[in-house]
Every structure is written in structure tokens, then in C-alpha cells.
Structure 1
Amino acid sequence: MANNNNTKNLNVPNLRFPEFKGEWEKYKVSDILEFFPTNSLSWDQLEYGTDNIYNLHYGLIHKGLPTQIELVNCSLPNIKKEFIPKNYTLCKDGDVAFADASEDTNDVGKVVEFLSCENKNIVCGLHTIHGRDKKNLTINGFKGYAFSSEIFRCQIRCLSQGTKIYSISPKNFKDISIGVPAKEEQSKIAALLRLLDYRIEAQNKIIEKYESLIKGLNEKLLINKKEYTTYQLSDICEIRSGYSGAQLTGTQGLMVSRIETISKHCINLDKVGYVKPFNSSADFKLHIGDILFSNINSVQYIGNTAFVDREYNLYHGMNLLRLIPHKTVEPFYIFLLLNTITYKSYFQSICNKAISQASINQTELGKTVIHIPDLSYQKQICLVYNSLYNKKSLENLYLQVLKQQKSYLLRQMFI
């Protein structure tokens, strides 16, 4: 690729295939796209697995769908028969759909492009903006990436409105511009990014295979055998609450908050924030080998655990399980055991299901019955799982590299 960082010509991207010359044309997005009305059907008016009209809900754009929608690889819900609207516009290959609302400005205007509708009837639904190239200036496959580029996203962020919920409307697109090269160049850009998306999809599947293997082994290797020794959790663990007075400030000191997206091997760093330093005792320090337990949360997150493999300060939103000095129990084995489906289901069954959030008190948690094998078997199991988690961590790191590469190309290949 040719690097154009030093060019004085503003209408070319920083990174470009060397065989292409000349400037890109810049257009207002409203001059390129024709917009169509969308429906406002909620999730309870949709279902999966029927032959009714497919419906693209904005929640799927935010989570789950790739930039390019191919129905052979993507699952869209159907509209329940009694809610099928009287008037609608069917999506065609090359159409785009933007999410018009989000709690995060980075996700407002997030886009998908229909690359292969497979002759199916698809409509755009709640909080989406349905657009179609009315001038035939773009090839199918280019628009999804162009509208995902950083320069386009910056314009969207500047125009999004709201306080807690940010939104855009079709009217905003008259104030947003996009660069469009010749169709041959569009085709090569789209092909490169699509290949990278395929590799990211493959990497996700590799990670899913490791997760599936770990879950399968959990129930086979860890769940109670008759010859195991039986304990209550309070017999082998000290159960502590975290400090509840810390406030997120962006200053010094690590804070671990509620565990939601669980990291199986160590604390999920995405859930770590910063707090003001305060005069705390050692009671709020996390030690290597501690186990964090999400005891106050939404029901689906109750019982999520994380194994601490470095030192932190513990603050709020969870319990800490610290092994009582015990020669016959491995802390990592306890973590593995509590992380099984069997125990997750148990914790969700005994929690107090309040309206806003569920909870488990320390007494009930301490009564949890666990079955522990001899120390040599525990160590063997821990070695196996450490190998699996380390391999999965490496695959996750490679996934992040692929995503960073795509992000770089989206910043450099568009204007």
C-alpha cells in the first residue's frame, strides 16, 4: 500500500493501494442515500424460526451482527404474524441500516450493510435508519466500511444529541460528508476489509471452541465424586465484603467493581476503574489466590467469579473469598469449581431476587456445599486448566491484534 501522509492533496486517504491515483469525490451523505421509514416493533413482537418477514432491531446492530450481513451466517428475528405492518420497504443487497440511538456516543450511528439478503423479506425496525444508494455511486460491500470509518464516526459523534441517550436522525446526514473513490478502488478496499472480518470471525470461533471445551470439562472433572471430602464453603474460605465508599474519579488507586463479563482466569481489566486513595486497612487488599464473587447484581450475573492473579485494592460490589491457610486445598481449584454451570445455577436459585437486583448474603454463601478431591488430583486439574486458559488468553490477544488492525485501516483508508 502507498502511504499518502505527506501529500498536499487533501482528497485522498493516508493509506491507499498504489495502483490507484487521483482524488476521491466528496459528497454529503444525504446526496448519496435515500431514506425509508422503519417500524418500531419491540422484542416481544418478534420471534425466531418462522417464515415471516425478518426484522432488524437496533439492538442487534449494537451487539452480535457483523458490518456485512449475510443471512447465511447471521440470525435475524421474524415479526410475529399479528404485528406485521401494513406498509414497509424491503431491504435490498447494498442497503445500509444505522442504529439511531445509544447510551454511548461511540455507538450512535453504528452501521450494517446487507450484503446478501438471499431473496428473503427483511425490514428495518426499532431505532434504525434505512438507507439506499440512490445514485449508484457505490458498490455493494463498500458502504458498510465507509460508514464505519473513523472520519465518518467522528462526524456522527459531533452531531449526536441527548444526555443519557444519544440519537441522530436522517436530517443529520445532510451535515455529514463521505469520500467516494472509483468503483474499482471501492472493490479492493471492501475485499481487503472483508477478508479481515472473515479472519476475525474465525478467531472468535476458535475462542468459542476453547470456552466450550472448558465448560464440557468442568462438569466431567470437577463436579462431586463420592470419594471426595465434603466441606461447607465457610469451612475453608473467609468471606469478606468490599469497601462501599469509593467513588470513580479517574485518579490513583485501583478499584474492582461488579463482575459482569467474567474473565475466567483473572480479573477482567475492563471492569477496573480508578479511585481516590484513602486510608484503608489491609482488609481491602486483594491478594494473589483470592476469589471475587458477584453477590449483588442482576440475576444472570449472580455467582460470576474471578481469580485474582495480581494484587489490587478491593472496594465494592462483590464478596471476597480468601482461603483459610489449608494444606489440602488449592485456591484455583475452588475458583474452577464455583465457576461450573452446576454452581452458577445453584447460586441463582438461592439468591434473593429483588426487583432492582438480586443478592446472596454471606451466611447463605458460606453454607454452599463443595466436594474436594485429594491435593495431588487438584494440582493435576489446575495444571490442565491453566494450560487451557493460557492458550485461550493467547487467542484473545491475537483477536485484539486483528481488531486493532481493522481499526487502523478504518482510520487510514477513508476520507
Structure 2
Amino acid sequence: MNKSDKKILNVPHLRFSEFTDEWVKYRLGNIMTFKNGLNKGKEFFGAGTPIVNYMDINKNENIVSSMIKGVVTVTDNEMKNFQIMKGDVFFTRTSETSDEIGLSASLLEDVPKGVFSGFILRGRPIDGIFENSFSGYYFRSGAVRKEIIKHSSITTRALTSGGSLSQLNISLPTLREQCKIAKLLRLIDNNIDSQRKLINKYESLIKWIYGK
């Protein structure tokens, strides 16, 4: 990246007390490369290698191999061109509405022989710029989502591309602060999941009591 690409931005109002470094501005295309995914006919799905699909990204900020249910048969050349690796950030490429365009999820672990679908984009950061789980949360934050939507095209469908995402101006904290933020957000997510399971349990009990 060029030094001229860095510009100091105002820091967020709410931060952990031990961090005082200012967040730094980057042009996303200078710290991340983008690639469109694999397009195959229906007959190639149902067996083969894991494939990250649209719904894997739509519903999750971060994904691991056990969450990837789709499989596809690919050639050696397709495997090479569309392979995925830990740290990749995926974005939904097209949607009926702007609300679901450019939704993101980061890959938290390597998926041997994994590939990704043509309905999503793969963003591959340069080494050391993102903490893996932080990037999934970060690109879903309100400010970044507004930028993604602003740079998308909307006709009959909402559409984004690697070229559009490359134009985004983003600001990032240090890796240490990214790790602290991601840890807090994971804790919140885990608490929400626990509460949701408890609510579902009590709702099932109520239905059983009243015979519904």
C-alpha cells in the first residue's frame, strides 16, 4: 500500500480505555483483492468439495468449516482458481434489495479443497491488516454497510462488485484493538444465543402445557 493512502480519521467515541491510537483510513482496494466466485450447472452440486454459498454469508458474520453444507464437483483448474483460505472475507454479490447487498462473513479456519459460489465475492486481505473474526463484524457495521450500499448499483436488482468494493474508504484500529473488539462481540453473540435457546425452551414448555 502507498503511504499516501493513509489518512488519520477521528477515533470512535466509545473505546476500550487502554487504546488511544487513532484509527487509520485505507482505500479497500489497496489492502484487499477481490474475485468473483464459481458458476456451475445444477448437475455438479450434491457431491464433491465444500462450497461457500450465499446463505452461508447472509446469516453469519463468521464461518467455520462445519457451517458449510454445500458441495460441488470441480476440476483441478477450478479448485486452483476459486480456492478459499483462512482470513478470506466473503460478500454477497447480488440481492433483491439493497438491505442484503454486500453482506459479509469472514472465514475463521482453512477449509481443505474448499471453493466459493458465483453468487458471492471473495475479498482476500493483505497479511496482518485484519484480525479474522473482527473483519466479519466490521464489514457489517452500520457505517461500512452505508458505504457498501452507496457504491452498489440498483436497477431491477441490487448489485455490487470487486471494483465497487475496492473504492470504499474504511478506517481500522490496530490488530490488538481489533482482537479486543472481536472478543467482546463474540461474547455478546454467545450470550444472545444462550438466551435465544432458553426462550425457545420455555416457549416449547408453554405449548406443551396448553396442548398447542
Common fold, TM-score beyond 0.5?
A: yes
CA displacement, residues 57-80 of structure 1 (integer Å, 9 cap, x when unaligned): 213322xx42111224x242111x
Indicate if the aligned counterparts of 1:100 and 1:129 stay in contact, CA closer than 8 A: yes
The answer for the alignment partner of 2:27 in structure 1 is: 28
The answer for the alignment partner of 2:16 in structure 1 is: 17
The answer for the alignment partner of 1:53 in structure 2 is: 49
Matched, 1:111 2:110: no
- The code of the aligned residue for 1:159 comes to H
- Tell which has more relative contact order, 1 or 2 (C-alpha 8 A, sep 6+): 2
Deviation at 1:213, TM superposition (A): 5.5
- CA–CA distance in 2 between the matches of 1:44 and 1:58? 18
Q: SS of 1:129's equivalent?
A: strand
Q: SS of 2:131's equivalent?
A: coil
The answer for the alignment partner of 2:87 in structure 1 is: 94
Q: SS of 1:36's equivalent?
A: strand
Indicate if the aligned counterparts of 2:52 and 2:68 stay in contact, CA closer than 8 A: no
1:244-255 to structure 2, matched below 5 A, reads none
Matched, 1:161 2:153: yes
- The code of the aligned residue for 2:23 comes to W
Matched, 1:69 2:63: yes
- CA–CA distance in 2 between the matches of 1:85 and 1:136? 29
Indicate if the aligned counterparts of 1:42 and 1:126 stay in contact, CA closer than 8 A: no
Uncovered stretches (5+) of structure 1, i.e. residues with no partner = 1-8, 218-380, 386-415
The root-mean-square deviation of aligned C-alpha atoms, in Å, is 2.5
Indicate if the aligned counterparts of 2:134 and 2:178 stay in contact, CA closer than 8 A: yes
CA displacement, residues 83-106 of structure 1 (integer Å, 9 cap, x when unaligned): 557323321111110001111211
Uncovered stretches (5+) of structure 2, i.e. residues with no partner = 1-7
1:145-294 to structure 2, matched below 5 A, reads 145-210=137-202, 217=208
Deviation at 1:198, TM superposition (A): 1.8
Change (3 A) 1:92 1:176: same
- CA–CA distance in 1 between the matches of 2:154 and 2:100? 13
CA displacement, residues 133-160 of structure 1 (integer Å, 9 cap, x when unaligned): 1242122212111111111100111122
- CA–CA distance in 2 between the matches of 1:84 and 1:214? 52
Q: SS of 1:130's equivalent?
A: strand
Deviation at 1:18, TM superposition (A): 1.0
- The code of the aligned residue for 1:91 comes to I
- CA–CA distance in 1 between the matches of 2:203 and 2:117? 33
Q: SS of 2:186's equivalent?
A: helix
- CA–CA distance in 2 between the matches of 1:214 and 1:43? 43
Deviation at 1:211, TM superposition (A): 5.9
Change (3 A) 1:41 1:209: farther
Deviation at 1:163, TM superposition (A): 2.6
- CA–CA distance in 1 between the matches of 2:53 and 2:9? 37
CA displacement, residues 360-398 of structure 1 (integer Å, 9 cap, x when unaligned): xxxxxxxxxxxxxxxxxxxxx64x66xxxxxxxxxxxxx
- CA–CA distance in 1 between the matches of 2:49 and 2:9? 45
Change (3 A) 1:201 1:46: farther
Change (3 A) 1:10 1:133: closer
How many residue pairs get aligned? The number is 203
Indicate if the aligned counterparts of 1:99 and 1:128 stay in contact, CA closer than 8 A: yes
Identical aligned pairs, as a percentage?
A: 32
Change (3 A) 1:179 1:211: same
Indicate if the aligned counterparts of 1:67 and 1:111 stay in contact, CA closer than 8 A: yes
**Looking at CA atoms only, which structure, 1 or 2, has the larger radius of gyration?**
1
The answer for the alignment partner of 1:354 in structure 2 is: none
Indicate if the aligned counterparts of 2:139 and 2:145 stay in contact, CA closer than 8 A: yes
TM-score by length of 1: 0.45
TM-score by length of 2: 0.83
CA displacement, residues 209-246 of structure 1 (integer Å, 9 cap, x when unaligned): 4566577x4xxxxxxxxxxxxxxxxxxxxxxxxxxxxx
- CA–CA distance in 2 between the matches of 1:60 and 1:43? 18
- The code of the aligned residue for 2:57 comes to I
- The code of the aligned residue for 2:77 comes to K
Change (3 A) 1:164 1:192: same
Deviation at 1:203, TM superposition (A): 3.1
Deviation at 1:38, TM superposition (A): 1.4
CA displacement, residues 262-313 of structure 1 (integer Å, 9 cap, x when unaligned): xxxxxxxxxxxxxxxxxxxxxxxxxxxxxxxxxxxxxxxxxxxxxxxxxxxx
- The code of the aligned residue for 1:66 comes to N
Q: SS of 2:154's equivalent?
A: coil
